Amino acid sequence: MKDIRRKTLAAASALTLGIGLAVTGGLAPAAAAGTEATFLVLAPQGGKTDKAAARVATARGTVVARYDQIGVLVVRSANPDFATAVAGAGVESVASTTGLGSALDEGETVEVSAADVANVTADPTKEPLFGQQWDMPMIGVPQAHAINAGSPDVVVGVLDSGISSSHPDLASQIAKDKSTSCVGGVADTTESAWNPTTSDHGTHVAGTIAAAVNGVGVTGIAPGVKVAAVKVVNDDGYIFPEAAICGFVWAAEHGMQVTNNSYYIDPWEFNCRNDARQRPVWQAVQRAIRYSASKGVLNVASAGNSNVDLQHKTVDTGSPNNGTPETREINSACLDLPAEAPGVLTVSAVGPTGEKSYYSSYGQGVVEVTAPGGDSRFRTGGVSPTTTDQILSTTFNTATRTNGWGYKQGTSMSGPHATGVAALALSAHPGMNPGQLAAFLQSTAVAKPCPQGVYNPAPLHPDGPHAYDATCSGGARNGFYGAGMVNAYNVVK
């Protein structure tokens, strides 16, 4: 039986690695009397929310966001009995989101010093730091740019911690008119609201997708496209379900064709649709994802950093992560959100060798494609990290409030590689719907075979000699790599 557990990916040294994927906080009850709490109130699928809104008012709640497109209300109430009082005709389900925040577990960015940036000797007619971007040649970016570097008509939504609008590699790339903060489940389009506050995760992701070719810093996969900041991470570093829902609907309503999602939405690593505590969150998020797809959005998600076989999960012993973990049996009804939601393109990670990153989760029938996410441990068998084997991109130092460049690793870094390739595909072949685009990315991927036997890239890792064992299943399409490595050149030629 596969034991599902979270693994610590930080180095056993002074260097902390950036592992760019959100993990979840625990479930908490509704607020006590006098303390305002947030609720998701779901009307019957396909019905109007008028009756639900009326019941909210009767139950002493206030509707702060109304998503009639998907029959979901975001409500605040200080009534400790709100969940019971609001039930009735017009309300299908209700859930308090107190305690449902997902903590962005990104570690520290390993920054490139200003002196190192100034002293690079790369061809000055290209991007100065391109020589350190091993990930770009791996997926055919230089060849792709000779044909198509992206169209400004393509807008990618970065559902994350915000994007620095003052970064020299990103300032010209941001669709400010389509950017917003969804923190609290309510859209706020002021520029300060969607800029980063306590995390540079979104800025790093955005650079991988679309950093400008301007003689400064790095290049993105699709520098000709635009990115929109859709901030879903609050100042405490948490993503709540109402923020993700707002983000998916916002992307749908504002002409985005692709979104990048590198987080969990649930307090547990796996959302069980047959669990009464979790089902309303699943329903609301799935409605939002389906709606965005109906409006032409392909949602791309990271597979996760737990080295878990997502096809064969039976026991979860590592959730929730903000309290005492519980052991619970799980089954096929329990899914990683949004990575395992229907219609989402799920991406695993590889390192500089092109083999599965030691931390990357996987699963036959779950992972559609793979992409560079970095692997700082393969050179030493897990003993110590090599910074330059991570992914170099744009950064924002939230302490000094300065822009820069630096390294992170994780499936949060592989996801935006696939997203950037998707943006190039749409630039070269406009008009594809989400299903066609997902299929195109897979058909143009470069197939990678399973390694033989038990894959053990980090036997000397401090977590233990078998902590990162994994077994790949399948043939040309398999659990480690799906249809294979995304390829920028193949989608534009």
From the list 363, 269, 338, 388, the residue with the least C-alpha distance to 27 is 269
Q: Which domains does the chain have, with CATH numbers?
A: 3-26+102-492 (3.40.50.200), 37-96 (3.30.70)
Give dist(CA 348, CA 35) in Å, integer. Answer: 41
Which pTM does this prediction carry?
0.92
Tell me the two tokens of residue 261: 């999602």
> What is the tens place of the pLDDT at every residue in 367-398?
999 999 999 999 999 999 999 999 999 999 99
Q: Report pLDDT for 290.
A: 97
At position 491, the amino acid (one-letter code) is V
Quick check: 181 and 196 in contact, CB under 8 A? no
**Averaged pLDDT, groups of 10, the chain, 493 residues long:** 37 34 41 79 91 98 97 97 96 90 73 77 72 97 97 98 98 98 97 97 98 95 98 91 97 98 78 78 93 98 93 78 71 86 96 97 97 97 96 96 96 97 98 98 98 96 96 97 98 97
From the list 231, 175, 162, 238, the residue with the least C-alpha distance to 203 is 162
Q: Report pLDDT for 124.
A: 52
Q: Output the 3-class SS for the chain.
A: CCEECCCCCCCCCCCCCCECEEEECCCCCCCCCCCCEEEEEECCCCCCCHHHHHHHHHCCEEEEEEECCCCEEEEEECCCCHHHHCCECCECEEEECCCCCEEEECCCCEECCHHHHHHCCCCCCCCCCHHHCCHHHHCCHHHHHCCCCCCCCCEEEEEECCCCCCCCCCCCCECHHHCEECHHHCCECCHHHHCCCCCCHHHHHHHHHHCCCCCCCCCCCCCCCEEEEEECCCCCCEECHHHHHHHHHHHHHCCCCEEEECCCCCCCCCEECCCCCCHHHHHHHHHHHHHHHHCCCEEEEECCCCCCECCCCCEEEEECCCCCCEEEECCCCEECCCCCCCCCEEEEEECCCCCECCCCCECCCCCCEEEECCCCCHHHCCCCCCHHHCEEEEEEECCCCEEEEEEEECHHHHHHHHHHHHHHHHHHCCCCCHHHHHHHHHHCCECCCCCCCEECCCCCCCCCCCCCCEECCECCCECCCECCECCHHHHHC
Quick check: 111 and 395 in contact, CB under 8 A? yes
Place of tokens 């983000």: 247
Tell me the two tokens of residue 227: 């990115």
Q: Report pLDDT for 18.
A: 38
Tell me the two tokens of residue 118: 């100034």
Quick check: 164 and 403 in contact, CB under 8 A? yes
Q: Report pLDDT for 313.
A: 83
- Burial class, 443, CB count within 10 angstroms (exposed 0-12 / middle 13-18 / buried 19+): exposed
The verdict on whether omega for the bond into residue 338 sits within 30 degrees of 0, i.e. cis, is yes
Q: Report pLDDT for 208.
A: 98
- Interhelix angle 411-428/201-210, nearest 10 degrees: 30
Q: Report pLDDT for 271.
A: 75
Return the bridge partners of 181, or none.
188, 231
Catalytic residues: 160, 201, 412
Give dist(CA 205, CA 241) in Å, integer. Answer: 21
